[in-house]
C-alpha cells in the first residue's frame, strides 16, 4: 500500500476517536468527497463540531487543515489540539467549550487525495490555495499561481474544485448564516522559513482589508502577557501575493453580506504558516525525504506539535471577548 494511504488512514482513525472520546460534545459528519483519482476513487472529507449545538450556532470558530497534501504537520497540529481538548484528563484546559460559550467547527483534512498521493495539489493536480478564481495584483510568476499545466505545482485550475466547494459550503453553513458574532477561523499550513507566520487577508493585494484594525487588535491580544509573541502577525501580502486564495474569496463575500445586512458580525479568516526550517541545522537528514522541508524532523515532531495547543486555544478564545471590544 502507498505510504500516503497508510498515513491518511491513521489520521482518519484519529478523527473517529475524537468523535468517540468527545461523546455528546462532538459531532462528526462526512461533508463531501474529494476530486476523483485517475482510478475513479473519491476520498471522504470529514467535518467535526466540538461544543454545544447552541454554541456552534451562536459563536462558531473555524479550524481548517490539510489543504496542501504535503503539509501534514498542520493536520497533526489540529488533531492533537482536538484530542487534548476532548480528553477526560484535560477538561480544565478549555472549559469555555464545555460551558457552551464557544463552538469549534473543523475540517481537519480538506485534501485527503493529496495526502494519500503525497502531493501538494488535489488528485487533479490543482493547488486548492490558488483555486478561488481571484486575480492577484503583481503575483510572482509561477509560484503565485499559473494556468500552464496541472503537472506543475501551483496550478490554478479553471473552476472551483470539489474540495474548494466543500470549504464554500462549510463557511456558508456555519459562518455566513451568523449575523451577530465575531468569528475567527484559522487554516493551518507549513513550509518555507524559520518563523511561524499568522496571516490575515489579503493574499491578492497589498491594500489593507476593511477589518485590518480588528486583525491588529487580535494580534496584540494574542501577544499579551508575553504569550505567542514568537509568531509574526500581518497581512499575507507582506510576505508574498498569490492568485486564487480561498480565504480572500470568502472574506470578501462575507464583507458584502455585512454591507447588505448592516450587521456587526465579522468573519475573520487567518492562516497559520508553520515555519519548518528552524530544525534543519539539528536534523539535516529530514531533507532527504519529500515532505521533509514542509514538516519538522521526526525526532522532535511531537514536541513541536504540542507547542500549538495553547496558541489554538487562545485563538479560539478571541471569540469569547465581547464583539463591542473588537469593533470600537
Ligand atoms: Zn500550504
1: pLDDT strictly greater than 80: no
Tens digit of each residue's pLDDT (9 = 90 or more) over 160-195: 999 999 999 999 999 999 999 999 999 999 987 789
What's the pLDDT at 3? 83
Q: Which helix (H) or strand (E) holds 257?
A: helix 246-261
**What is the rounded average pLDDT for all residues in the chain?**
95
123: pLDDT strictly greater than 90: yes
Asked if residues 309 and 188 have their Cβ atoms less than 8 Å apart, the reply is no
What's the pLDDT at 101? 97
- The Cα–Cα gap between 294 and 287 comes to 9
What's the pLDDT at 122? 98
What's the pLDDT at 87? 95
User: All 3 cell numbers of residue 220?
Assistant: 496584540
52: pLDDT strictly greater than 90: yes
CB atoms within 10 A of CB 224: 10
Strands (E), 167-285: 182-191, 197-200, 232-235, 266-275
Tens digit of each residue's pLDDT (9 = 90 or more) over 57-92: 999 999 999 999 999 999 999 999 999 999 999 989
Q: Which helix (H) or strand (E) holds 105?
A: strand 103-107
Tens digit of each residue's pLDDT (9 = 90 or more) over 198-219: 999 999 999 999 999 999 999 9
Q: Using N-to-C axis directions, what is the helix angle for 246-261 and 162-171, rounded to 10°?
A: 30
**242: phi then psi, degrees, rounded to nearest 5:** -140, 155
CA 300–ligand 1 middle distance (angstroms): 21
What's the pLDDT at 136? 96
CA 68–ligand 1 middle distance (angstroms): 5
CA 312–ligand 1 middle distance (angstroms): 18
Range of the domain at 198: 3-327
298: pLDDT strictly greater than 90: no
253: pLDDT strictly greater than 90: yes
- Number of structural domains in the chain: 1
User: All 3 cell numbers of residue 36?
Assistant: 476523483
CA 189–ligand 1 middle distance (angstroms): 4
- The Cα–Cα gap between 226 and 36 comes to 47
CA 154–ligand 1 middle distance (angstroms): 10
CA 175–ligand 1 middle distance (angstroms): 23
Query: What's the mean pLDDT in 39-57?
Result: 97
6: pLDDT strictly greater than 70: yes
Percent of the chain surpassing pLDDT 90: 87
What's the pLDDT at 107? 98
CA 65–ligand 1 middle distance (angstroms): 9
CA 99–ligand 1 middle distance (angstroms): 34
- The Cα–Cα gap between 281 and 121 comes to 28
pLDDT band per the 50, 70, 90 thresholds, residue 322: very high
Residue 255 burial by Cβ neighbours in a 10 Å radius (0-12, 13-18, 19+): middle
Query: What's the mean pLDDT in 117-140?
Result: 96
- What is the domain-level CATH number for residue 76? 3.40.630.10
Residue 296 burial by Cβ neighbours in a 10 Å radius (0-12, 13-18, 19+): buried
Query: What's the mean pLDDT in 136-158?
Result: 95
Amino acid at each position: 500500500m502507498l505510504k500516503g494511504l497508510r498515513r491518511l488512514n491513521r489520521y482518519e482513525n484519529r478523527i473517529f476517536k475524537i468523535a468517540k472520546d468527545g461523546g455528546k460534545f462532538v459531532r462528526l459528519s462526512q461533508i463531501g468527497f474529494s476530486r476523483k483519482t485517475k482510478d475513479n476513487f473519491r476520498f471522504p472529507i470529514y467535518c467535526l463540531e466540538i461544543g454545544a449545538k447552541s454554541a456552534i450556532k451562536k459563536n462558531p470558530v473555524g479550524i481548517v487543515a490539510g489543504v496542501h497534501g504535503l503539509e501534514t504537520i498542520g493536520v497533526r497540529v489540529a488533531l492533537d489540539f482536538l484530542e487534548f481538548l476532548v480528553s477526560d484528563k484535560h477538561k480544565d484546559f478549555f472549559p469555555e467549550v464545555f460551558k457552551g460559550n464557544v463552538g469549534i467547527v473543523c475540517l481537519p483534512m480538506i485534501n485527503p487525495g493529496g495526502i494519500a498521493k503525497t502531493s501538494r495539489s488535489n488528485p487533479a493536480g490543482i493547488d486548492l490555495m490558488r483555486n478561488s478564481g481571484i486575480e492577484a495584483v503583481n503575483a510572482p510568476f509561477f509560484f503565485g499561481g499559473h494556468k500552464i499545466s496541472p503537472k506543475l505545482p501551483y496550478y490554478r485550475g479553471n473552476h472551483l474544485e470539489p474540495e474548494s466547494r466543500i470549504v464554500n459550503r462549510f463557511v456558508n453553513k456555519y459562518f455566513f448564516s451568523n449575523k451577530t458574532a465575531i468569528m475567527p477561523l484559522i487554516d493551518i499550513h507549513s513550509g518555507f522559513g524559520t518563523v511561524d507566520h499568522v496571516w490575515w487577508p489579503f493574499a491578492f493585494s497589498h491594500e489593507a482589508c476593511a477589518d485590518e484594525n480588528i486583525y491588529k487588535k487580535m494580534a496584540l491580544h494574542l501577544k499579551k502577557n508575553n504569550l505567542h509573541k514568537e509568531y509574526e502577525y500581518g497581512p499575507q501580502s507582506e510576505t508574498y501575493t498569490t492568485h486564487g486564495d480561498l480565504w480572500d474569496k470568502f472574506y470578501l463575500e462575507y464583507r458584502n453580506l455585512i454591507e447588505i445586512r448592516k450587521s456587526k458580525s465579522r468573519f475573520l479568516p487567518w492562516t497559520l504558516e508553520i515555519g519548518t526550517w528552524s530544525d534543519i541545522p539539528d536534523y539535516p537528514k529530514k531533507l532527504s525525504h519529500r515532505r521533509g522541508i514542509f514538516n519538522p524532523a521526526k525526532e522532535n515532531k511531537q514536541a513541536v506539535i504540542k507547542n500549538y495547543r495553547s496558541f489554538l486555544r487562545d485563538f479560539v478564545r478571541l471569540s469569547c471577548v465581547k464583539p463591542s471590544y473588537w469593533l470600537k
